Structure 1
């Protein structure tokens, strides 16, 4: 009987795979029909990433070619790792690496904690009208372009007609070259980022704080915890996972300073501290037409960012956090 039943039964997996595949397709189609408006709402964002993030990945191949616009990708000669060897042996490489890492480390140390601190302060405000007004005021700089931010910076800190230098001179002080002093360039960039994005960075933290059970605060108050203790022992642990995720994503941009900001603040007096990977790729790729070489430099920057994200995500999971994925 056992032998007969084994002979009559179809081979394992012969018909189950097509059926399971069909069932998965039917389930997917039902999900698409059920949530069609949600998918339609997400469509612009998906198209943005597909068109500007994923489709251009095919052009990475020119980093391994002697690319010619006339021959195209298919007709250009293969160069292998020649452009990478040239980039790493270039004396400017260490300068670019130093400037990029220094600007990002300053941003990580001084800028990243400020939205958390500001969120904690706003969360403690009990007057809702005052809280909404403050939130609106600190959000507004985010919607200004870097062109406007740079223009305001020049109006405030220019050596000759800048408001800050005029005030310093009026109180008996000496004028300071804020915009042409190489020692102050990284500080100016960090202050710009803080003023522009600090308020906007509080949105996720305030949303995470809003989900904290009020009973936990009540229990902490009954145990005699002050407002500072409640922030330290209740609020911060509750938003720790959000902080970790944002920190991991921030590490992924350690090689990405932001072309617009640096380019608009760039001048000959600060070129030694202002030249970063983004401006270098623009200079040699767009202005000098070295497409393959600049693509190799950009690819190196992207690989380093991906490596930092993977390493930080792995480390966060080892420490008991959820991580990004």
Structure 2
């Protein structure tokens, strides 16, 4: 964790919640404030459609990420998941503004936005590198699907109401053969998402680890396990009469799995750089989101 040097910011990118007109007013005020500070402001092209007045410049997300020093994401955790993959590839840090309830990632309320912008540009923020996952679907030795995820890679039974049989291997070492609704491979960031609702452990964001969490296992002794984040995890579909799907962050879907197909999950070479106020800790967020001590 390191201090973020806000004085190095020259160009900012504004990204709003997908297809949500309510973000327009906040983005207009934010754009005006940043422009008054002498910063170049670029809008995500899809976001610009929700702003009534003309925007300074608008670019597709991929081109936007190549131009900016900082992304300000207005929406919530889902919006951050949507853009994290692209921003991480370009090593662009982001800060999240939450328009709803406090999020695990987007934790700045809009009524405190400009106060936080002052702190951000003044270097009163820190960078939290968040590990991401790289996943490949392999069939007969060929990669037929690939992508990255910030939260999790999920192999699940799809639309059928039957259990699936899977084999789990870690670093080419056999772990188990299991039956259930599926399995979640989660980052520390993703440990408070789907994996948490499936009974998985909460991992601190700085922990170099991944969690494997079974979803509704037929054998109750099949419990979540935590492995080092340098491991290669291979999940193999073990029965041909079944169907299985793979999703990344609930947003990317691989082709349906067939018998002996394998999903291989590793830590990605890219991290997402999340910028947070110094006074906000992971434990503050957990207390607020999980209603601890209430």
- TM-score range (shorter-chain normalised) is under 0.3
Q: Which has the higher helix share?
A: 1
Q: Which has the higher strand share?
A: 2
Which protein is bigger by CA-based radius of gyration? Answer: 1
Query: Structure with the greater relative contact order (CA < 8 A, sep ≥ 6): 1 or 2?
Result: 1
What TM-score does the superposition give when structure 2 sets the normalisation length? Answer: 0.20
What TM-score does the superposition give when structure 1 sets the normalisation length? Answer: 0.18
